Chains A and B, each alone.
Chain A
Amino acid sequence: MFKNWKIILAIFVILLLTINLTGLAQDQIVIALQGEPTTLDPQFADDGNMRPVSDNVFDKLLVLDGKTLQPIPCLAIEWERVSDITWQFTLRENVKFHNGEPFTAEDAVYSVKRIIDPTFNSQIAGNFSTIKDAKIINSNTILIITNGPDPILLKRLTLLDIVNKKYTESSPNNIINTKPVGTGPYQVIEWNRGEEIKIEKFNGYWGQKPNIQNVTYRFIQENSTRLAALKAGEINLAVNMLPEYLEQLPSYKTANSIEFYFLRFNTIRGIMQNKLIRQAVNYAIDKEAIVEALFLGSAAPARGQLAKEAYFGFNKNLDAYAFNPEKAKELLKEAGYKGEVVQLISERGRWMKDGEISEAVASMISDVGINVKLTFLSWQQWLDTLFNLEKAPDIMFSSNGNELFDMDRFYQAIIKTGGPQSAYSNPDIDKKIDAARNEMDPVKRQAMYEELAQLVYDDPFGVPLINLKSIWGISKDLEWEPREDGRMLISEMSLK
């Protein structure tokens, strides 16, 4: 038996001797994502882990300005609205794909048509549902035709990645998924499933050359392991850090995320049909306390709507219902509330502190005298409940992310009668939502959304709770400023 001990000891010693503590190389960085992307075909799906990679590999016709969220040129250098439903785009010339093919009008049109093709079944096709067709005018000019007037076409196009027609058509599906070809500043070298994705600087890139040569993406699901890896100097950037980690992180950056937590009322059936009770719930919740105590300041109270300043349709005159338990109790009395059970359905584990905030909210609601019954469902059950109006509880905890930074999506999905997540119904409001969707005059359209925001505030659809902040842990030598749209562009990073 002692022989074994010596062998183990010997192995251990050899192991220690062979360990070389090399630091990270100068021109390369390692980024830890929370999970493995499902695919790197950015036209097919988007799971939150893909964009940090694909945004560096693919260009779009337009991109958003990192601060103002206004569309600015990328592969399209000029554009013009020819008619209510037709837009003309002039394309950038001398752009090369990673496989050496030149970027042409054919690729742009193909990319548009591919994503709206029902047989392709893109999981993000909903972003482009207003697009009807695309046509080539000449080698560097294309037309995009919409079904009706679409005031947010330009913003939609910032989500549409341009792929190479020849490569995409000739390669089998699983190659496009793992080794995509775009025109972006970085090209994919390899993807070892389960382990890492490597990308490197593309020398034929049309724009300004980035500083960093190589990037490795690792997938570390466990938050505390990402933190440990950062502290141990193995990685330069860790996504989705918790507020509790701030003091331990070598350095960090925060930015308002696109996620808004909110409660949705079932205004169609049950006790929450009563507007006064809905208002009472709004008065009962202390959002400031949630922000400070639960999120340690890494969140902001929502301003009475699921939007922040930069969103189109934000109503700056609104503010959250004040925390006023007395007023809530008065409203309940006025409503004739007699202690009926109010269901609150939530889930935990999907979003940061979703379970904790649900518990806090439930106890605040019950403090004003509402007999609230909080139930946690598994993610799958929760989804089934969310999308099925028949199953809609009185109150449901949910989160909303708006990638288009335009309020159309919110009203279509959550407010309009029959919208996929809607438990609200008001024919008047429905008409206004549809009118706003097709209004091409931005000033009028803004006014329409401001009116809508006020309407669903006064006759509450729910309680807008908080806007989360994203926290990125970064190493001391990495320089980077996060963008308002949350995209992680390596070309905006550099090493000290």
Chain B
Amino acid sequence: MKRYIILRLLYTIVVIFGVSILVFIITHVIGNPVNTMLPLQATDAERIALSHKLGLDKPILIQLLDFLKSVIRLDFGNSWWQQIPALGIVLKRIPATLILVFFAFVLAFVLALPIGIIAAYKSGTIIDRFFTNISLVGICFPPFWVALMLILFFSVRLGWFYTSGYGTLKHAVLPIVTLAFVPMGHLIQIIRSSMAEQLNSQYIITARAKGVNEKVILFGHALKNAATSIVTMFGFDLGRYLAGETAAVEVVFGWPGIGMLIVDTIGKQDFPLLQAEVFTVAFVICLINLITDISYAFFDPTIKY
């Protein structure tokens, strides 16, 4: 187990390096950030001066080496936009996204678990089809659209929650509900299908034949064995959401999380900040994948690392 974790951490470092280099290349290919930063009316002399100040006039390989050094030192330099250390800006935005994602996933899980189990238990019936359709609705509605509909109804019409902003529960409810839709849909489907698979398997039939309590069969056997696929889906969605998948929702609700920061940063072509963001995001995804993988051993004793 220890050896496995160390290997995985080494692997994480490789992934982060790879992603960082990729981002470096992409950001340097899409266009000169000096053009984005200066007003359209700026003169050529101003453009050249700013290029020089930002070190963009150095050969690309030197820039890449400087950048890799900064990744190793975990010092991405100052954001061009805010002129304070870039990594600090990113870390400061993480809690806002964490709040959204945590509660959205709790909500999604709490709703999806009973629905998925009931759908699997009543597999093939009208109840099953009803719940499967609900999950499809959850997956198919684009979050930004759901967000706008919720705002129109609950904020403008009813006045229950704020349309946008950050700070209180009244600000947080709508973005959390919006974000819960997709993972809820995913979870219902995965819970339903993996539970149904378990419930049809030999050992459940045997257990039933022995007269084992139906509750024990459902929660003690089927759910525990279905857990690995549920956790996989959960970890997959969680990683994506913490990595800026929340951007559209954060932008619509003016929620100052990492997703909105990424959108802003790309628009401003603030390389140091963008690199710090990608580093953080890659790290979070690797970490969640690691936790997911380790949790398999907990649910399934046949898995050994």
Partner-B contacts on A (CB < 8 A): 1, 4-5, 8, 15-16, 18-19, 21, 35-36, 38-39, 45-46, 118, 121, 123-126, 129, 173-174, 177, 193-196, 218-222, 224-225, 228-229, 231-234, 378-381, 383-384, 386-387, 398-401, 409, 413, 420-421
- Specify which of A19, A225, A386, A420 is in contact with B43 (CB 8 Å cutoff): A420
User: What are the residues of chain B within 8 A of A125 when measuring CB–CB?
Assistant: 46
Asked if B59 is at the interface (CB within 8 A of a chain A CB), the reply is: no
Chain B residues 56 to 88 lying within 8 A of chain A, measured CB to CB, are 81-84
Asked if B8 is at the interface (CB within 8 A of a chain A CB), the reply is no
A229: contacting residue among B83, B164, B264, B268, CB under 8 A: B164
B235 contacts the other chain (CB 8 A): no
Q: Are A123 and B254 in contact (CB under 8 A)?
A: no
- The CA of A149 and the CA of B38, in the complex, are separated in Å by 26
Counting from the closest, the 10 A-B pairs by CB-CB distance are A194-B256, A380-B31, A383-B35, A229-B163, A1-B114, A220-B254, A228-B163, A222-B252, A228-B151, A380-B30
Binding site for A on B (CB under 8 A): 30-33, 35-44, 46-47, 49-50, 53, 81-84, 89, 92-93, 96, 107, 110, 113-114, 117, 148, 151-152, 155-156, 159-167, 169-170, 173, 251-254, 256, 260-261, 263-264, 267-269
B166 near A234: Cβ-Cβ < 8 Å: no
Would B254 and A225 count as touching, CB distance under 8 A? yes
Q: Could you say which of B31, B38, B170 contacts A19, with CB atoms under 8 Å apart?
A: B170
With both beta carbons as reference points, the residue of chain B lying nearest to A421 in the complex is identified as B40
Hey, which chain A residues are within 8 Å of B38, CB to CB? 123
Please tell me which one of the listed residues B43, B47, B107, B166 contacts residue A129 in the complex, with CB atoms under 8 A apart: B43
Supposing A15-B169, A194-B260 touch, asked if A380 and B254 sit within 8 A by C-beta, the answer is no
Whether the pair B163, A218 counts as a contact (CB closer than 8 A) is no
Tell whether, in the assembled complex, residue A225 and residue B50 are in contact, meaning their CB atoms are under 8 Å apart: no
CB contact under 8 A between A177 and B83, given known A194-B93, A194-B256: yes
Q: Of all chain B residues, which has the CB nearest A46?
A: B39
**Bound Cα distance from A231 to B264, whole angstroms:** 26
Chief secondary structure at chain B's binding surface: helix
**Contact across chains for B89 and A16 when beta carbons are under 8 A apart:** no
Given contact pairs A35-B264, A225-B151, enumerate 16 new A-B contacts (beta carbons under 8 Å). A8-B110, A19-B170, A21-B159, A38-B82, A45-B37, A121-B50, A193-B256, A194-B261, A196-B165, A222-B251, A224-B148, A228-B163, A380-B33, A380-B269, A386-B40, A401-B41
Cβ contact within 8 Å between B31 and A387: no
Check A232–B83 contact: CB distance below 8 A.
Answer: no
In the assembled complex, which residues on chain B have CB atoms less than 8 Å from the CB atom of A228? 148, 151-152, 155-156, 163-164
Please determine whether B35 and A401 come into contact, CB atoms closer than 8 angstroms.
Answer: no
Kindly name the residue among B44, B89, B156, B166 whose own CB sees the greatest number of chain A CB atoms within 10 A.
B156
- Please measure, in the bound complex, the distance between the C-alpha atom of A234 and the C-alpha atom of B174, giving whole angstroms: 15
**A381 in contact with B41 (CB, 8 Å):** no
Q: How far is the CA of A177 from the CA of B46 in the complex (A)?
A: 21
Inter-subunit contact A38/B167 (CB<8 Å) = no
Alpha-carbon separation in the docked complex, A54 to B99 (Å) = 32
Task: State whether A177 touches B43 (Cβ < 8 A).
Answer: no
9 contacts across the A-B interface (CB closer than 8 A) = A123-B46, A195-B165, A222-B252, A222-B254, A228-B155, A232-B156, A383-B31, A420-B42, A420-B44
Q: Cα distance A118–B166 when bound, in Å? A: 39
Residue of A whose beta carbon sits closest to that of B270: A38
Could you tell me the distance in whole angstroms from the C-beta of B131 to the nearest C-beta in chain A?
14
* Nearest-Cβ distance from residue A159 to partner chain B, whole angstroms: 11
Residue of B nearest to A409 (CB): B41
In Å, the complex CA distance between A222 and B145 comes to: 12
Tell me if A379 and B40 are in contact (CB < 8 A). Answer: no
Interchain nearest-CB distance for A380 vs B (Å): 3
**Chain B residues within 8 Å of A46, by CB:** 39
Write the chain B residue with the least CB distance to A45.
Answer: B37
Which residue in B42, B53, B89 is a CB contact (below 8 Å) of A126? B42
Bound-state CA distance A15–B170 (Å) is 8
